[in-house]
Structure 1
Amino acid sequence: MPTISAFYGILIQMFWQDHAPPHFHALYAEHEAIVDIRTLGIIEGGLPRRAMALMLEWAQDHRAELMENWELCARNRSPKKIAPLP
């Protein structure tokens, strides 16, 4: 699963040809959250409060790029890297 961004110990990843709805995986230590790109709702799992806030702030700022990467992955193409939080 390609890592498309990493910041503050949080990894953002996407699978090729993954199931709907459009989503990404956020990993922090032993925690994982699966996040709906369209709503930024948590589909499954969770992160500690501070990591969750940082991840959601990042996702809000990069939602269009996340959807573009989702489309690339759906076509079995490599997603593009997305800038981390500053």
Structure 2
Amino acid sequence: MPTIAIVDGVVLMIHLRDHLPPHLHAKIAGFEAQISIATGDVLNGSLPPAKRKRVQDWLATHRGEVAFVWSEIRAGRYAGGMIE
């Protein structure tokens, strides 16, 4: 499960062969959430409110890059690296 970014201490990952809809896995200190790439909505789980907001703001700025990385990971072409 490649880590694509760390936002305010929250580790953002995408599973190699994950299910639809496209989403991120966000983890920090015992919390985990699945967050829609398209909308930023929490699909499952939870994060502390301030961390959730920070991740959603970051995602709004990087949505295109994250969607591209999701596609590359699912196609087995992702070379690694973090989105900053």
TM-score (norm: length of structure 2): 0.91
* Secondary structure of 1:62's aligned partner: helix
Matched, 1:81 2:82: yes
| 1:46 partner amino acid | S
Which runs of 4 or more aligned residues in structure 1 lie more than 4 Å from their structure 2 counterparts after TM superposition?
none
Once residues 44 and 3 of structure 1 are traced to their aligned partners in structure 2, the CA distance between those partners, rounded to angstroms, is 19
Matched residue, 1:41 = 41
Once residues 2 and 67 of structure 1 are traced to their aligned partners in structure 2, the CA distance between those partners, rounded to angstroms, is 14
Matched, 1:23 2:3: no
Which 10-residue stretch deviates more, 70-79 or 46-55? 70-79
Deviation at 1:76, TM superposition (A): 1.7
Contact 2:7 2:58 in 1 (8 A): no
Q: Once the two structures are aligned, what percentage of the paired residues are identical? A: 33
**Matched positions, count:** 83
Q: CA RMSD in A?
A: 1.1
In the alignment, structure 2 segments of 5+ residues that lack a partner are: none
* Secondary structure of 2:15's aligned partner: coil
In the alignment, structure 1 segments of 5+ residues that lack a partner are: none
TM-score (norm: length of structure 1): 0.89
